[in-house]
Structure formats: structure tokens, C-alpha cells
Amino acid sequence: MARQLHGVGDLEVGRCLGLLGLILIKTGDLAAAEPMLRQALSIRERALGPEHEATLSSLIFLAQVLSKRGDGAGAEVLLRRYMVAEERHYGKDSVQAGMAALNLAERMRDNGKHPEAEALYLRSFNIAMRADAEYLSRVMLSLGASHEELKLNEKWEMLFGEAIVLMRGRSKQGELRLFQGLLALGKVLVHRQEWEKAEAALRGALEIRERRLGRNHPATLEILEELKRVTAAHGRQAEI
């Protein structure tokens, strides 16, 4: 009984340290948050095990702090550990494992490990194609933001096209996800200087944004300006 009470006390300390760490994150004091989260993680590992939900929650918050403080290598180690735990618990082809792979891919991209990052992106993308539109659009947006570092080739153009077709067929998920996918595809195509294809993708995104927000909304005008740049790049006057 004494051992059990001691364990409960440890868990309460771990919970309080974790909460303090989150408060410090919100206030922007990452240097103070890091040791709090490390202690919370250590306590939960001992009391609950390395793959308990609460342990992994502490691990993810610590990885976020390390990333923001410039310790990309330390964050990568934690995110890989998180991915392995999700794979073991839910299965390698689960949405949970795919999201964990996406988080690790983004970290490895920022760490300059582009081939490894692209492999993880592809894995996450393939899982997302079998899942819901929200997850798929997040993968596509992340890839769209990463196109310059990863130098996405025609294989990705084809995959994005397949995803757009799939998302059009999932209208019940809402136009927002389709818009995000079209915008991400447009970014990839612009970087590859596939001007006509980029124009088509951006026009699709513009149509949705204009219908939802109006012609003169700043977000709509931003896409309009990008569309003008694209049409000018392949020698056409934009008909908008």
C-alpha cells in the first residue's frame, strides 16, 4: 500500500509539473518550461510506462519546446519515439501512426534530412488517402509549404491530382479541405514552373474562396495576385 501511495504522489507531482510546463509555454518562457516537462516525462515514464497516453502527451509537448528552442535533433528523437509508440498501439497503417509520421517528417525537413522527410511524407500521404479529407488536406498543405526544400517531382504532382479527385468526391467533408488541397497543389506546380497546371489549380482554389468569402476579401485578393503572377509567367493576360 505504501508503494501505491508513493506512486500516486509521484503521478500528482508529474501532473502538476506538466501543467506548469504548459503554462510556461503559453507565457513564452520556453527555457523554464523545458525542465518542468522533462521532469513530468521522467515521472510518468517510471509510474505509467514509456508508451502510456499521459507519458506520450508529455513527450510531444517537450518535443515542441525543443523544436522552438532550436534543438531539432532532440525533438527528432522524441518524435520518432512517439511514432513508434503509435505504430505499436494502433498499427503501422493507422491514421494515428500517419499523423505521427507527418510530425516527424516536418521535423526532419527542418533538420535538413530531405530524403528521409520525403519518405515519411509519402507514407503519411498514402495513409491519408484512405482516411478523411481533413487529414489529407493537412498533409497536402505541409507538402505545399515544403516544396522548395523537398524539390517535389512529377510523382507528387500526380499524387496531388489523385488526392484532388478523391476530395471532390467527398463533398460532405466540405469545400474548405478541397480548397486547401488545390492551393497546396498550386504551390507545388508553381515551383515546378508548370504554369498552365498551376493556373488551373489556383483558379479552382479562387472559385471556392470567392464563393465563401467574397470577391474583395483580402484572402481572395491574395490568390488573385498569385494567379496574375502565374498567368504572366507563361505569357498570358489573366482573365479573372
Residue 1 has pLDDT above 50, yes or no: no
Residue 221, pLDDT score: 92
pLDDT at 5: 35
- Spatial contact of 94 and 86, defined as CB atoms under 8 Å apart: yes
Residue 67 has what pLDDT?
Answer: 96
pLDDT at residue 190, as a whole number: 86
Mean of pLDDT values over 71-78: 97
Is 30's pLDDT higher than 80?
Answer: yes
Across the range 69-80, mean pLDDT stands at 97
Please name the residue that has the C-alpha cell 491530382. Answer: 161
Check pLDDT > 90 for residue 122.
yes
pLDDT band at 170 (very low <50, low <70, confident <90, very high): low
Q: Is 88 exposed, middle or buried (0-12, 13-18, 19+ CB in 10 A)?
A: exposed
Could you tell me what percent of the chain has a pLDDT over 70? 92
Q: Where are the alpha helices (DSSP H) in 111-153?
A: 114-129, 133-145, 147-150
Average pLDDT over residues 9-26: 89
How far apart are the C-alpha atoms of 43 and 35, rounded to whole Å?
Answer: 12
pLDDT per residue as tens digits for the range 186-215: 888 888 888 988 899 899 999 988 988 898
pLDDT bracket for residue 31 (50, 70, 90): very high
pLDDT at 110 over 70: yes
Is pLDDT of 168 > 80?
Answer: no
List the domains of the chain with CATH numbers: 18-70 (no CATH), 73-131 (no CATH), 136-240 (1.25.40.10)
Question: CB neighbours of 109 closer than 8 A, spacing ≥ 6?
Answer: 117, 146, 149, 150
| pLDDT at residue number 146 | 82
Using a 10 angstrom Cβ sphere, with 0-12 exposed, 13-18 middle and 19 or more buried, the burial of residue 183 is buried
pLDDT band with cut points at 50, 70 and 90 for residue 14: confident
Are 141 and 182 in contact by the 8 Å Cβ rule? The answer is no
Query: Is pLDDT of 171 > 60?
Result: no
Average pLDDT taken over every residue of the chain: 87
